[in-house]
Structure 1
Amino acid sequence: MNPAPPNIADLMQAFVSNTPGLVYQFILHADGNVEFPYLSEGCAALLGLPASALQAAPGRFLELIVPDDRRGYLDAMHASATALSGWNWEGRIWIDEYQDQKWINLRSTPRILPQPPGSVHWEGIMTNITSSKLEQLEVTRSRARLAELTAHIEQVKEQERTRIAREIHDDLGGNLTAIKMALMMLTQRLPADPQLIERAEYVDALVDRSIEAVHRISLDLRPSMLDFGLVAALEWQSREFEKQNGISCAFSSSEKEIDLSLDHATALFRIFQEALTNIAKHAKASQVVVRLQRMRHQVSLTIADNGVGIGQADRIKPGSFGLRGMNERARALGGTMTLGAAPGGGSVVTIKVKLTSPRPVIMDPPYDHTASKTQQ
C-alpha cells in the first residue's frame, strides 16, 4: 500500500515549529487597533509571554519595547502600511520575568485585507539578535575608542613636532648664527693667504647651508605660517608646492581668516599637505585648484586636480596609508572626507569640518588669495 500523502497543514506546522524565533501574523486596523491572529510556540521563549496572553492583549507587545525604541517601531510600521513595503525593524525589549533586555529583529510582508476596510495584514518572523547586536555595538565602541586614541596620538605628535621645531630653530639656529658672526670676525683678521681665505669661505658657505637646513627642517616639523592663521598657511603651502613640483596651484579662500582652534587648523593643514603629496606622486597633473570656504556651520576644503584620477582599487589597496590617514584625521576632527572624480578628469578631495560656533548672519565680502594663475 502506498503511504497516505502528507497533510499540508501538518507540514506547515512542522516547518513553523522548527523555525528559530517567533512566526506571527499581525493586523493593524483602520481605527489604530492591532491584533495577532497567529503566534507560534516560540512566543513564550522570545517575549516571555504565552501566545494566548499576547493575543488577548495585543497592546502588551508595544509595552515590551524599550521606551526609546517605540517611536522607531511605530514609524516603521506605518511606513510599511502606507507603502505596502517590507517591514524590517530591530530594537530592544524588556522581559520582566527574566529581568533581561533583548535585541529582536522583526521582518514581515504586508498586504491589504478586504475586510474590514483599511486593515493591513503582515506575516513574518521575529528573531533574537542580542548576541550579534552586542558584538556589533562592541565593534562600534572599539572603533570609537581607536579613533579617539588615534586623534590623541596625532595631537601629541604635533605637540612634539612643535617642541622639536622650536628647539632646533632657537638653539641650533642661534648657535649657527653665532658661529657665522664669529667666523666673519676671524675672516677679517686672517692674513692675506689665498688658501686660508678659500678655506674660510668654504666654512662660511657650510654654515649658510646648515642654517638653511635648520630652517627647512623646522618648517617641515611645524610650519611657522600656522601662527598667522589657517588661510595664510594654506596659501604658503600652495606656493611651496608649485615652486617645488612645477605644478600650477591656485588657492582661494572665501574669507581673510577662518577662526579654528590650533589643533583643528594643524590637522586640516596636514590633510592638505598629504593631498598635495599624493598629487605630486601619483596624479600626473599639471594643475591644482584649492578652495577654502567657511559656511554657517562648517569649513570646507576642496582640492581638485586635472590628473589621471584615482581608481577604486587604489582607494582600498593595503598600502594606501595616505588616503587612510587623511580620512582618519578628518574623522578625528568630527568631519568627513570624500573622494571623487573631477568633471574634466582627475580627482577632487573635499574635507568638511564642523564649526563650534555658527557663522554670523551678517557676512563679510569674499576675499580671494591666489597662489598662482591657473593654467588655461
Structure 2
Amino acid sequence: MKKINGNIASPKGFKADGIHCGLKRKRKDIGWIISTVPTQCAGVFTTNQVKAAPVLVTKEKLKNKSLQAIIVNSGNANACTGNQGYQDAITMCEKTAEHLNIDAAQVAVASTGIIGKHLPMFQIEAGLELLANNQDCAAENFQEAILTTDTCQKVSAYQEEIDGKTITVAGCAKGSGMIHPNMATMLSFITTDANISSDLLQELLSELTEITFNQITVDGDTSTNDMVLVLANGEAKNAEIQRGSLAYQQFKNVLQAVFTDLAKSIAKDGEGATKLIEVQVENAVDEYSARMLAKSVVGSSLVKSAIFGQDPNWGRILCALGYSGIDFDSNQIEIYLEDTLVFAFGVPTDFSTDQLSEKLKQAEITIKVNMHDGVAQGKAWGCDLTYEYVKINALYHT
C-alpha cells in the first residue's frame, strides 16, 4: 500500500469540479463528482432523528445500488425545509442529470450549512450551468466547494496492487464543528476504481465507519446532514473482489487507511482547535468497550479544556472513563499522557507537572489507557476546546 499525493478524482474514470454560485459570499459552494461509467455504491448516514432533505433523497437513491454522480452544495443545509426542501433536493439531482446526460436515479445529493433556510434554486441552477460549462475542471475546486467553517481541504489517497492491477482509493471530507457522528456536519466522499459489488462495499463501509468516522468528536453535536458515500467504478479492471480473499483484505486495508486519515483530519480541524487529541485504549475486555472508553475521554469538555491549557489533569481522564458506561476496575488501569505514566493501579504517579506541561504544548497529543482486562484495543480522535470555538459558534448566524 502506497500513499499518494492525490485527490478525489485520482482513481481512473472520475472527475470533479466546483464553483461559486452565491450561496456563500466568496468561497466555492457547489460542486460535483462524476464517473465516466455507472458505479457500485454504498452509504452511511446521520443517526439524528431529524434528517435533512438530501439525506432522505440520497438514502432512497442508494436502493438502486448504483450511482454515477454526486452533487453537493455548502452554505445551506436544506434541513428542516419541509416538502419544498425535499423537492429542491430532487430537482438538484434532476438538473445535474440533464447537464451530464445521465439518469437522475444515478445522481446523489448532499448539502451542508445553515439549517432552516430554503435553497435559492435559481442560484443552484445557475451554478449547475456554470459547472457544466467550466473549462478549468479541477478536483481541488470540489474539495473546496464542500467546506463551511473548515480551515483546510481534507484529502487522502492510496494505491495498492491487487491481482496485478493498480487500485486507487481516494477520499475527501468536510467537517469542523457539529462533529459527533454515529454512523458532523460531516460529509465524506470516497472514490475508487476497484471492481467490487455494492453489497460488499456496503459491508466494508459500515464496518470501517464504526472504527474511524464514528470515533471522532469535536463538540458532541450530531448533524442532520452527516453522510459518507463510496463509489466504485471498476475501471482498474481487476477481478471482482470476493469476501474472504487476499484482495478483499488488501482493499479493506486501503479503505481503512483513507477513512482514518480523513477522520483525523476532521478532528484536527475542529473549530478553533489548536491540538489533535488521540486516545488509545488497549487491553480492554472487547473492542466495543475499548472504543467507547476512548470516545468518552476524547469527548470530555474538561479533558479537552485541560489539553488546551497544557494541564496534565489525569483526574479528568479517569472521570471520563468512569462515565463511559463500560464496567472496569480503576485499581487495575494505567493512564499515560504522551509517554508519561500519570496514574497506575488506583493512585497517581510521581511525575513532573512542569515537564509534562511542556510536552502538552505539542500540536498532537496522545492519551493512552491500559485496562489490563483483555486484549482488545480502540482509538478515538478529537481536539482541544478553545475560546475560539465559542466565538465561532456564537457568531455563526441562523
TM over 0.5: no
- Structure with the bigger RCO (C-alpha within 8 Å, sep 6+) is 2
**Which has the larger Rg?**
1
Instruction: Please indicate the TM-score interval, normalised by the length of the shorter structure.
Output: under 0.3
Q: Which has the higher strand share?
A: 2
- Per the normalisation by structure 1, the TM-score is 0.24
Q: Which has the higher helix share?
A: 1
- Per the normalisation by structure 2, the TM-score is 0.23
